[in-house]
Amino acid sequence: MYEKYSGLPDTRKSTSSNGSRPAGRPTNRAAQPSSGQIEYYQAPNRNGEAASAKRASKRRAKARKRKMILAGMSLAFLALIVVAVVILVNSCAEPAPVDLETGKFRNGVYINGMDLSGKTVDEVRPQLESNESYALNNISITLSSNEINARITGTDMNASSDLNAVIEQALSGGASQVYYTKISIDDAALSNRIDAINQTSSKPPVDATVNMDFSSSGKPTPQYIEGQPGYGLDVASTVALVKQAIESGQYQTTLTPTLTSIQPSITIEEVQANFSQIGKATTTYSFKGTAEDTEQQRAIIPNRAFNVEKAADAINKQVIKPGEKWSFNDVVGDRTEAHGWKQANGIFGGDTMTLQYGGGVCQTSTTLYNALLQAYPYIKINDRSRHSIPSTYVDMGLDATVDTNHIDLVFTNTSDHPLYIYSYYTANKMYKSRKRDVTVVIYGQALPEGEEYKARTVVVSKEDPGEDVITQTNKLFEGEEKILAEARPKYVVQVYVDHYRNGQVVEPIFLYEDTYPGNPLRKQVGTKPTPTPIPSATPLPSPSPSTSAPANPE
């Protein structure tokens, strides 16, 4: 229904006289046309207004709800911040003091399965410590493989327990709590133990080498021997394996360790490529006396030969690696009766010959020294001494004396490859029945083609021994005398190694100067009176048979 409503806008679709829509509703009645016609207005849509109001209300409700949610979230976030701060403060604060002597455990508290409810520390500590000690003492980790079998104990690893800390934690904690101790080990102690096992149980590789056979004439025949790999523990992985077992509570278990293969450092091809004779020396010695020798000398000479040959056997087949230092005394050992050496003449006091165990070994060391000098570029002589009396089997200046725990022959291999020492003894070609030759041969990296080294000596001076030194003794009869030291001149000798190239000396290398002090003749003469011989009594003649007595008849 339509009615006149002057206060509302005209919603009808009327047109003006010219057919256009009115620009808008009049602002007041005075502005309406005065034609006297009645104007009609459409009533507003009441249902549309209600819907619009409802939508506005819903929007306001949603806005309020969002505000409430945001406010709640803000409060929750602030609460979380407060809780975090409280926890942080409590964590940084000192723990509440616990009396480890009189404090009692709450109900339902266990350590390693032992019920401690209502008991004091004093009451439970002995049993807890006993249990823990038993656990530590019974740690036994066995390393087992085809090659290695060894055991590692808690003592080996300095194993320890955190029992005291766990007791304190259990006292300060709440009721119905279960606690377990933890066993710790010393990483350094474990590594040392495994390294020690590796040192004693591992098998070192065997380098390729060569054996040399010498015929009776001294002809060498090399026999090359292939090297063999070794094995050893992989220490780092074995340490990790044991630690893992301890951390997982496996205190008695058997583990299979990782082994590493160790290859030889020298192959047979390297041996063959660097195996040439670079030094050789021979000296001669007697093994049997002659009719001109005294009975004592004839007894001593075989002993000396025995010692020369025993020392030669000891240094035979020695291999000296690059950079390695080699000692004659270390290899040959102490010259004592217990070690099987015999008594023979040796120098004592600088000018006197006396019986000594091992007398004669200096000839072997001297022969070795002369062979080494021919390998001059590949060796460094660290220790060498002359005799106080010149030797009869080698030129002055080229001897090398040795003495147990006192004087040694030491050299270092300065080449890039191993040096091999071979020594042997053969019958002397001129005196087969009573003399032999001891020979030492050095093998190693070949010298440059056409090059060789030879030792040479120069006698710088010689001085007379001086006047004889004669002393009297009443231990000898008049007319008797005893030679204490033969007269020997003093010598000064220079030693060179000449460097040859294609047979010509290209460099004389001075090594050192030796002085043999010499000594006058020293002897003793007797002063003890010669006793007058007591004549023996003349025996009485036996009576001759009587001729007056008649013969007894048959």
Ordered alpha helix ranges (H), 103-219: 121-137, 163-172, 187-201
Query: What pLDDT was estimated at residue 91?
Result: 47
Percent of the chain as helix, strand, coil, to the nearest 5 = 30, 30, 40
**Residues 441/277, Cβ–Cβ less than 8 Å:** yes
pLDDT of 121 higher than 60: yes
- 35-49, 88-102, 253-267 — which is least confidently predicted? 35-49
| C-alpha distances in Å from residue 423, one per residue of 157, 281, 283, 340, 410 | 50, 10, 12, 20, 17
| C-alpha distances in Å from residue 318, one per residue of 168, 326, 354, 475, 520 | 66, 9, 31, 51, 42
Better pLDDT: 107 or 32: 107
Query: What pLDDT was estimated at residue 61?
Result: 80
Shortest CA distance to 367 belongs to which of 420, 326, 409, 327?
A: 409
pLDDT of 545 higher than 90: no
Mean pLDDT for 256-278 is 92
pLDDT of 12 higher than 60: no
The number of beta carbons lying within 10 Å of the beta carbon of residue 439 is: 19
Q: Hey, what domains does the chain have and what are their CATH numbers? A: 110-213+229-262 (3.10.20), 274-447 (no CATH), 450-530 (2.20.230)
Angstrom distance (rounded) from CA 487 to CA 520 = 5
- Residue 423 token pair: 């020594």
Q: How confident is the model at residue 83 (pLDDT cuts 50, 70, 90)?
A: low
At 280-321, the pLDDT tens digits run: 999 999 999 888 888 888 999 999 999 999 999 999 999 999
Token pair 């474990």 is found at: 190
Q: How confident is the model at residue 23 (pLDDT cuts 50, 70, 90)?
A: very low
In this prediction the pTM is 0.61
- 36-40, 99-103, 185-189, 350-354 — which is least confidently predicted? 36-40
- Per-residue DSSP letters for 208-274? -EEEEEE-TT--EEEEEE--B-EEEE-HHHHHHHHHHHHHTT--EEEE---EEEE--SS-HHHHHHT
Q: Distance between the two ends of the chain, CA-based, in angstroms?
A: 220
- Residue 162 token pair: 């955190």
Query: What residues does 150 pair with on adjacent strands?
Result: 143
SS3 310: helix
At 437-488, the pLDDT tens digits run: 999 999 999 999 999 999 999 999 999 998 999 999 999 998 889 988 899 9
Angstrom distance (rounded) from CA 501 to CA 348 = 43
Shortest CA distance to 311 belongs to which of 404, 218, 411?
A: 404
Query: What pLDDT was estimated at residue 84?
Result: 64
Query: What pLDDT was estimated at residue 19?
Result: 44
CA Rg value for the chain: 57
Token pair 């229904």 is found at: 1
- Residue 2 token pair: 């339509």
Better pLDDT: 356 or 101: 356
